[in-house]
Amino acid sequence: MTDSSVDLSGKSSTAMRKPYSTEREVLLEDNLESKNPFKLFHHWFEGIKNCGKVYEPNAVCLATSDV
């Protein structure tokens, strides 16, 4: 094991979980710009399109499976 690796042997998936947001950052319906999904998407897409940090905001990833 190197200094940069993490030993996860013997740990449950619950023990490995890390919090990625605080209670203030949780997405709540009351905090949405709109409850209309099309208006909400438009607001979100315009924001991401104009932020200057996303190279291709209209990119899509699709995965399918058949069992």
Residue pLDDT, tens place only, 3-49: 567 777 888 888 888 777 777 777 788 888 889 999 999 998 999 99
| pTM as predicted | 0.50
Please indicate, yes or no, if residue 42 is contained in any of the structural domains: yes
Please check whether residue 8 lies inside any domain of the structure.
no
Please name the residue ranges forming H helices in 1-67: 13-16, 37-50
Q: Residue 51 domain-assigned?
A: yes
Q: Which domain holds residue 37?
A: 33-61
Sign of CA pseudo-dihedral 13, 14, 20, 26 = positive
- The total number of structural domains that make up the chain: 1
Q: Which residue has the higher pLDDT, 36 or 67?
A: 36
